[in-house]
Amino acid sequence: MNQNILSKTKGKVVIDNISISYSSRNEQIYALKDISATINPGEFVCILGPSGCGKSSLLNGIAGFVNPSNGKISLDNKEINKPSPEMGMVFQQYSLYPWKTVKENISFGPSINKKGNESPEEIALKFLDMIGLSKYANHYPNELSGGMQQRVGIARALANYPDVLLMDEPFGALDSQTRIIMQENLLKIWREFKITVVFVTHDIDEAVFLSDRILLMSTLPGKIKRDLKIDLPRPRDKETTDSKRFIELRQICHSLIREESIKAFEKQNHL
Amino acid sequence: MTSTNVSSKSNFYFKSYKKERLMLWELIRINSKTYTRKLISIILFFLLWEFLCWIDFNFIINFVFVPTPVEVINAFIQFINDSPWVHFKASILRVIGGFISGSILGIFVGLLIGSSKILEDFLATPLELLRPIPAVAWIPLAILMFPDAESGMYYITFVGAFYPILISTQKAVENSLSDRLMIRVGQSLGANSFQLFKDIILPSSLPGISAGLVIGMGNAWFCLVTAEIIAGRFGIGYKTWESYVISEYPPIVMGMVLIGLMGAFSSFVVLKITDSFMPWRTISKDGI
């Protein structure tokens, strides 16, 4: 799919010693402190951590919604300080525009960033075909189930041909059956596009199943506790989750996360 | 208005998890129920009115001098036989003129105040000071300020329509702007401020603007009697006022009923027109 636009050399995200702080009731609270990481082009990286560890803040920083208080984040050596169509974002909540049809939701991005010679309409139809929802092109989002809406959300983010796809717990609201199918589909899309994916989740199985690398986060302030390589063979399917290595890796994440969750739980009690 | 939502044509072949497919006969059945209920409510209303007049009800509220529905109908027949069109035309033109100018200005200024802090600081205070002034209080100034009585009357219906439209638009825009997710989605797709405004803020504000337009239309009728006190020879409001001055009671009630009917009808038209701009909404009341 459009290999000239999507080359493997683009989509490198460098997080250089950043901190993100919020002032809340005259207090400076660090959501993240001194984080550094490099995400290589075409890599699938999960940011895993218990709730409240600042993983969404990190993603919002990469997306350009929040500017770090110090340090910098760059995409292909360009500093990020505002949202840009080079990075597609899939949100946790269903975030389709209710007043646009499914097709219009997807073509909205391409219609404002004319790129290549496909028309926005053609792009929308192509992506609808890819996510298997061509039949619903002219439906409004509230006529679709949650899983379908999230597929459209992914298509909408991809329709700009971004270099990086940012995903903020995109499958959190789905039932477990749908979630597994969505994960397999996401891997298929990722393979096809050779795109960098940064995926935030608190679900250990999800993170192990999807990633090349997991950035495990600690809480308050958020730091990267462990940079864990996931050496499971690809392509992955439901057999992967039964393999011995999968269970080992899950075990490792589990014990690390548990420590953090307990810490976070206790700290929140003392705040 | 009722609820039975029959939203889009597409629902006919698409069955969502929350909506059952509605067959044609089911639609007719559900609708005929609500029509019957509405008809019964109107009949009951007139019966109650007739009854209260008939027993000369007089406890706190005095019905002794209130004309009965039959007397009002007679007054209406007399009015119809006596060149009613000039009155209708005069009133309808004033209301439409006031409503359209009120909508254009109300939506425009509402969008500006709702989306810009600077413009809000400059414009909102004087507008807010003028807002509580009732239409009646504007009569002397309307006479002094406008070249003729007719434009003064347009002005008073305009005032009635303008404020609800202005406030609803402003609040709707502010509400849309508070939806951070919707705006972030637009930014991440690469939309600039103009595109955010046109494709996101404006459509998501439409339900609020629509409510303002419906209320504004009602208010324009509301202010019509007041406006037609200024001068007149023609108009439903003028007719009502004139009947009061000469102590002829049935035409007063007739004028009131006519204004009520035309006001309700025109608000309904505004509602339907604005609804057609928002085909994406599915509204279900009473869990239907």
Pick B189's closest partner by Cβ from A98, A99, A160. Answer: A160
Q: In this model, does residue B12 exceed pLDDT 60?
A: no
Question: What's residue B15's pLDDT?
Answer: 42
Q: Looking at the complex, does the CB of residue A157 fall below 8 Å from at least one CB of chain B?
A: yes
Distance CA B262, CA B214 (A): 13
Q: In this model, does residue A4 exceed pLDDT 80?
A: no
Mean pLDDT of B58-78: 91
Distance CA B35, CA B4 (A): 12
Mean pLDDT of A103-112: 94
Segments in chain B forming alpha helices (H): 24-54, 69-81, 85-115, 117-130, 135-145, 149-177, 180-188, 193-196, 202-222, 224-230, 236-245, 249-276
Question: What's residue B18's pLDDT?
Answer: 41
Instruction: Reduce the DSSP state of residue B279 to 3 states and report it.
Output: coil
B189–A108: do the CB atoms touch at under 8 Å?
A: yes
ipTM, two decimals, is 0.84
Mean pLDDT of B140-155: 91
Q: Looking at the complex, does the CB of residue A189 fall below 8 Å from at least one CB of chain B?
A: no
Distance CA A245, CA A255 (A): 16
A140–B200: do the CB atoms touch at under 8 Å?
A: no
Q: In this model, does residue B10 exceed pLDDT 70?
A: no
Give the torsion sign (CA, B59, B65, B66, B69).
Answer: positive
Pick B10's closest partner by Cβ from A84, A97, A139. Answer: A139
Pick B8's closest partner by Cβ from A84, A100, A140. Answer: A140
- pLDDT-derived band at A128 (thresholds 50, 70, 90) equals very high
Mean pLDDT of B97-104: 96
Task: Please provide the DSSP assignment of B14-51 as one string.
Answer: ---SS-PPPPHHHHHHHHHHHHHHHHHHHHHHHHHHHH
Q: By mean pLDDT, which of A72-76, A136-140, A264-268, B145-149 is the weakest? A: A264-268
Average pLDDT, chain B: 87
Question: What's residue A163's pLDDT?
Answer: 92
Give which of B153, B99, B103, B149 is closest to B263, Cα–Cα.
B99
Q: CA separation (Å) from A132 to A93, B234, B241?
A: 21, 64, 66
Q: In this model, does residue A221 exceed pLDDT 90?
A: no
Question: What's residue B102's pLDDT?
Answer: 97
Q: In this model, does residue A175 exceed pLDDT 70?
A: yes
Question: What's residue A157's pLDDT?
Answer: 94
Question: What's residue A271's pLDDT?
Answer: 53
Q: Determine phi and psi for B14, rounding to 5 degrees.
A: -110, 125
Domain residue limits, chain A: 7-86+206-269
Q: Who wins on pLDDT, A191 or B100?
A: B100
Order of all β-strands in the sheet with A213-218: A87-90, A164-168, A196-201, A44-48, A213-218, A223-229
Give the dihedral of Cα atoms B51, B56, B57, B59; nearest 10 deg: 180
A89–B191: do the CB atoms touch at under 8 Å?
A: no
All domains of chain B in start order, with CATH? 2-62 (no CATH), 69-276 (1.10.3720.10)
Pick A65's closest partner by Cβ from B11, B184, B281. Answer: B184
B181–A95: do the CB atoms touch at under 8 Å?
A: yes
Express each pLDDT in B163-221 by its tens digit: 999 999 999 999 999 999 999 999 999 999 999 999 999 999 999 999 999 999 999 99
Pick A142's closest partner by Cβ from B192, B278, B282. Answer: B282
CB neighbour list of residue B121: distance below 8 Å, 6 or more residues apart:
none
Amino acid type, B232: G
A88–B181: do the CB atoms touch at under 8 Å?
A: no
User: Which CATH architecture does the domain made up of A7-86+206-269 adopt?
Assistant: 3-Layer(aba) Sandwich (3.40)
Q: Determine phi and psi for A201, rounding to 5 degrees.
A: -155, 160
Between positions 68 and 107 of A, the ones with CB within 8 A of B are 82-85, 87-89, 91, 93, 95, 97-101
A136–B191: do the CB atoms touch at under 8 Å?
A: no
Question: What's residue A9's pLDDT?
Answer: 74
B185–A91: do the CB atoms touch at under 8 Å?
A: yes
Q: CA separation (Å) from A33 to A26, A263, B71?
A: 19, 17, 82
Question: What's residue A269's pLDDT?
Answer: 65
Mean pLDDT of A11-35: 84
Q: Looking at the complex, does the CB of residue A65 fall below 8 Å from at least one CB of chain B?
A: yes
Give the torsion sign (CA, B70, B71, B72, B73).
Answer: positive
Task: Please provide the DSSP assignment of A98-133 as one string.
Answer: TTS-HHHHHHHHHHHS--SSS-HHHHHHHHHHHTT-
Contact B190, A160 (CB under 8 A): yes
pTM of the model: 0.81
Mean pLDDT of B13-17: 42
